[in-house]
Structure 1
Amino acid sequence: MSPMNPEIPETPAPDLTVDGTGLLCVTLLLRLRKQIDGAEPGTVVHVIATDPAAPLDLPAWCHMTGHDYLGPVPGAEQPVYALRLAADALSTRADAPWHPAAPPTW
């Protein structure tokens, strides 16, 4: 918790930053997927995302894949969102990171 405001948790410092300035979320997710490929579970990723759909698309993508969405990063000059990579995250297609790599086996 922040000592100045105990109600707002501090966002962890990034291990990796993905710059999606000027990109639509579709292209941003392609870049994000490529840049996190091979990153260790627990890696904190800050995503710079200027697309107005990012506050909806990034949490939805994290929910779909199983990564932890940490929310917007306060005090950033541009819109920045944080997430933490999960060990058991669902793989997505390289050409379409909004689709699972393999269909679910129910």
Structure 2
Amino acid sequence: MTPPLPGDPSAAAPGITVDGTGLLCVTLLLRLRAEIDGAPPGTVVHVVTTDPAAPLDLPAWCHMTGHHYLGPVPGTPAPVHALRLTATPRPTRPDAPWHTGPR
């Protein structure tokens, strides 16, 4: 068996799992932002999602905030995406995490 690559989302166990089953990405981002608030840099987050837009929205949100999108996690019963929290994220609005900066 080939060992996982360093950026492979299956290489690290999640420190946080956010269950977004049945949520649209707008609501998922609200939940994600709330659940990672105060988490230490380097934390791996697994996001369970059924929204078909998630494979586009989660990488875009990570790019906007500075977090590292690691990709889909293989071998899971539901779609799971992994990201790693950065030490210096760009802040987002609590009520609209798809917007950076203060309200």
Instruction: Note whether the superposition's TM-score is higher than 0.5.
Output: yes
- 1:50-101 per-residue CA deviation (whole Å, 9 max, x = no partner) reads 0000000000000000000000000000000000000011010000000012
Task: Give, in angstroms, the shift of residue 102 of structure 1.
Answer: 3.5
- Report SS of the residue matched to 2:22: coil
* Equivalent AA in structure 2 for residue 67 of structure 1: H
**Aligned twin of 1:95:** 95
- Report SS of the residue matched to 2:100: coil
- Report SS of the residue matched to 1:17: strand
1:21-100 equivalent positions in 2, closer than 5 A: 21-100=21-100
TM-score, structure 1 normalization: 0.88
Equivalenced residues, count: 99
TM-score, structure 2 normalization: 0.91
In structure 2, runs of 5+ residues without a counterpart are none
Percent identity of paired positions between Structure 1 and Structure 2: 72
1:20 matches 2:20: yes
CA RMSD for the aligned pairs?
1.4
Structure in which a larger fraction of residues adopt strand? 2
